[in-house]
Amino acid sequence: MIRVVDLYKRFGGHEVLKGINLVVRDGTTRVILGVSGSGKTVLMKHIIGLLRPDRGQVLVDDEDITKLDKADMLRVRRKFGMVFQQAALFDSMSVFENVAFPLREHTKASEAEIIDRVHKALAVVDLHDIDAKFPSELSGGMRKRVGLARAIVLEPGCVLYDEPTTGLDPITTDSVDQMILDANQRLKVTSVVISHDIGSALAVADDIAVIHQGEIVEDTTPAGLRQSKHPFVQEFLHSWFKKQ
Amino acid sequence: MTSATQSAAGGRSPLVAALAGVGHLFARGFTETGAMLLFLGQAIAALFRRPFRFSLIMAQAEFVGVGSIFIVLLTGTFTGAVFTLQSASGLARVNMDSMVGSMVMLAVARELGPVLTALMVTGRVASAMATELGTMRVTEQIDAMEVMAVDPVQYLVTPRILAGAVMVPALTLIFCFVAGVGSYVVAVGMLGIDEGAFMSRIEWILDPYDFWQGFAKSIVFGLVITLVGCYKGYNASGGARGVGNATTQAVVIGSIAIFVVDYLLTSFLLIFEPK
């Protein structure tokens, strides 16, 4: 389980996170919904330990990761996989080498085992026969899938998604949403999704937290979100419904 | 001073504002130098931790060394040749043209070899390292590496810095050799200086210390070039423009740093010159 307790973070004179409290239950998909600049990516970076807070705690399986040294942080990070907004594939490596990278770094698996596990991970995201391709040869949707395959190849307990549908067309957005649901179902992982896409949030989430100007203003289920009385949440939903 | 001028300068006189600007420049320079040294410390410490990334080190050594050989051969040969032409012309005025070989090789071994090699490598290697690491930074590949529990300094920076420290001295030796060949061809082949005199003066004047001084400098230059390139790229931000800025700064700062470090090192190493 992941718990964020009373988290504060400031950059220069600007307070980005103002007392965030959040729980991510094991085996569920938690969506953190907010507009650009609301602090959601900063919050995610705290969960994965890329940033340290000014105040507060981030507890991963009851361990406060904000106090860990570099070696212990590396150990905790192996519990996570992360899919970045632009997939962040290593562009000097092929698809195979990208997905194999965590296996080569953290396991003593033989080459045959690595090949098998890479192909299994790619199959989870419905990709086949693209081992030799390079990231520059892939579409945006395919890059996201390869990014997810790389994130799950070590079978982590939790997968983080940073704006997985941003910049994608509606058809690809739907397929990425389905990819998240399938991965969750097949792998039984906990998922944390950072997004400003209400449609995707409603499609994939078990729990939704709405973040606005560094604060959680609503913490509910998809059904509960539609009934929210908070003015910002209503405005957010209204602008989305207007486009449907 | 008029009140208008004072308001334009934010309440300070233009002289004070200018001095403050210079002060900020120096303060930024010192801060960044300190940050680079800390970065170097991280990279060196990572060298002694598992895993030892031999294949990455060899790949970088090939890029820095083998990739720069052509430019070093060209620069070295022509440096030796041109310097010989100019020096012979000057020495002939005092009937000492047979000294041209020793004079050229003394300058090449102590200064021209390490400095020109470093400058050629800076243009090629520092810019490539800054561009590659900068692109990785702005596309979150370095973040991805951290999230996958791989130390990006150990994976990306340490092999590059080690390759610089080893290959730049090797390139400097090559530079010195081909400069000598260039000098010989011009002095003996074209200017008709006696071969025996040419070679014996070199043996007489040059000391192993001259080559050790140049070699020691080239190790430090190799570290400086790769450190500046890696630091600028690793800390790039602001998309393509930021990467471009990082690349430009890597070459400019790297080149300036070579001259500054050259002066400081030379002052220090001359203490050990044999009398």
Please write the tens of the pLDDT for every residue from A133-149.
999 999 888 898 899 99
User: How many independent structural domains does chain A possess?
Assistant: 1
Q: Is the ipTM of this complex over 0.90?
A: no
Residue of A nearest to B52 (CA): A105
- Whether the CB-CB separation of B131 and B233 falls below 8 Å is answered with yes
Residue A194 lies in a domain: yes
Helix axes B208-234, B113-121, angle to 10 degrees: 20
- Whether A48 sits inside 8 A of B147 (CB atoms) is yes
Given phi > 0 = left and psi -120 to 50 = alpha, else beta, which region is B84?
alpha
Does residue B212 fall inside a structural domain?
A: yes
Domain presence at residue A54? no
Who among B135, B144, B149 is closest to A84 (CB)?
Answer: B144
Choose the closest CB to A84 out of B51, B140, B150. B140
| Domain-embedded: residue A167 | yes
Q: Tell me, yes or no, whether B16 lies in a domain.
A: no
Which of A74, A89, A150 is facing B149, going by the closest CB pair? A74
Kindly state whether residue A32 falls inside one of the protein's structural domains: yes
pLDDT value at B2 more than 80 = no
Tell me whether residues B141 and A82 touch, CB distance under 8 A. no
pTM of the model: 0.86
Domain that holds residue A236: 28-39+80-243
**Whether A75 and B149 lie within 8 Å, measured CB to CB:** yes
A217-234: pLDDT as tens digits: 999 999 998 888 888 888
pLDDT reported for residue B10: 56
Length of chain B: 275
Q: Contacts by B45-50 with C-beta closer than 8 Å and gap 24+?
A: B46/B151, B46/B153, B46/B154, B46/B157, B46/B158, B47/B158, B47/B162, B49/B151, B49/B154
Q: Which of A70, A85, A101 sits opposite B148 (nearest CB)?
A: A101
Residue A11 lies in a domain: no
Residue A159's beta-bridge partner residues? A81, A191
In a domain, A73, yes or no: no
Count chain A–chain B contacts defined by CB atoms under 8 A: 45
B→A interface, C-beta within 8 Å: 51, 135-136, 139-141, 143-144, 146-151
- Give a yes or no: residue B37 inside a domain: no
**Are A50 and B151 inside 8 Å of each other by CB?**
no
* Predicted confidence (pLDDT) per residue in B76-127, tens digit: 999 999 999 999 888 888 888 888 999 999 999 999 999 999 999 999 999 9
Average pLDDT, chain A: 90
Asked whether residue B253 is domain-assigned, the answer is yes
In a domain, B27, yes or no: no
Amino acid letter at A187?
Answer: L
Q: Is residue B45 part of a domain?
A: no
| Residue A179 clears pLDDT 90, i.e. is over it | no
CA nearest B142 in A: which residue?
A88
Asked whether residue B59 is assigned to any structural domain, the reply reads yes
Q: Quote the minimal CA–CA distance from A187 to chain B in Å.
A: 18
Distance between B236 CA and the closest CA of chain A, angstroms:
16
Let me know if residue B36 belongs to a domain: no
Q: What is the CATH number of the domain that holds A91?
A: 3.40.50.300
State yes or no: pLDDT of B191 exceeds 60: yes
Q: Give the domain extent around B92.
A: 53-272
**Amino acid present at B206:** L
Contacts of A143 in chain B (CB under 8 A): none
Interface test with A, best of B139, B151, B153, B154 (most A CBs within 10 A): B139
Q: Give the one of A50, A70, A90 whose C-beta lies nearest to B141's C-beta.
A: A90
Task: Report the residue of chain A nearest B49, measured CA to CA.
Answer: A71
In a domain, A63, yes or no: no
Into how many domains does chain B fold? 1
Q: Is residue A33 part of a domain?
A: yes
